[in-house]
Amino acid sequence: MLSDAHAGSTQIYEGSELELFQHARNWKRYLRTALQSVISGDVAEVGAGIGFTTENLAFNHRAKRWLCIEPDAAQCNDIRTLRDSGRIPEKCEIWNGKLCDLPARATFDTIIYIDVLEHIEDDRSELEAAMIRLKHGGRLVVLAPAYQYLYSAFDESIGHFRRYTLSSLRAVAPEDLTPSEGYYLDSFGLLASLANKWILKQPMPTPDQISTWDRLLVPISRLTDHLVFRSFGRSAICVWDKN
């Protein structure tokens, strides 16, 4: 058991966007619909933050165990509070540290990075470490912001090193992993990202802007994404299998 364990060395996350996005209920539902079928068994969530993804995805009955990996001790406390209040399931354990700090015995059926890989400077080495932690037949799932041309003041302010295309995501994955799925989500939300890049130029969206995107644009994207065969969107998703 790794519950409430720590690696002995932690860091402080300096971004301030997590609280803004935690109330994006339509986006949560859409993301859960998209990802629930590829998450199963013993799951490691890298960069669990304040529990936004955990709360949204961990109730999946196909996930037997869920390890929240988070280097920020204060955010680990936020996750612990969610668990104590029943907002995330009791099967969720907490590791205050990084994936590479885990004991060698810790391996997983699914490892997920949800809006996390773009915060890691050496993304290639990170995915190599994830591949080593996957069991044979395991699955790696990455969701990241799409298209480097959309890189904006907002990305810079919250510590993004880059944005991705499906091709650039696949390019940093270890060769021992086999791509199984790749697509984009939130085609209409792409317009909001373009507006912020070229018009608003804001380092941080306002709560009202997040609410408008979630309430109006995400439901439209749920329709248009299928019409355009998920060929473009605000977020890129790649899934790999370890054979």
pLDDT tens digits, residue range 211-230? 999 999 999 999 999 999 99
Dihedral sign of CA atoms 213, 68, 129, 161 in order:
positive
pLDDT at 209: 87
Regions of the chain with pLDDT less than 70: 1-3, 5-18, 20, 200
Nearest to 189 by CA among 221, 163, 212: 221
Please state, in angstroms and rounded to a whole number, the distance separating the CA atoms of residues 59 and 155.
Answer: 30
232: region left, alpha or beta (phi > 0 left; psi from -120 to 50 alpha) = beta
* pLDDT reported for residue 235: 97
Q: Tell me the whole-structure pTM to 2 decimals.
A: 0.93
Closest CA to 31 of 57, 68, 63, 5: 57
For residue 109, give the nearest of 2, 241, 237, 1 by alpha carbon: 241
CB 134 within 8 A of CB 108: yes
Confidence (pLDDT) at 5: 64
For residue 18, the model assigns a pLDDT of 66
* pLDDT tens digits for range 157-173: 899 999 999 999 999 99
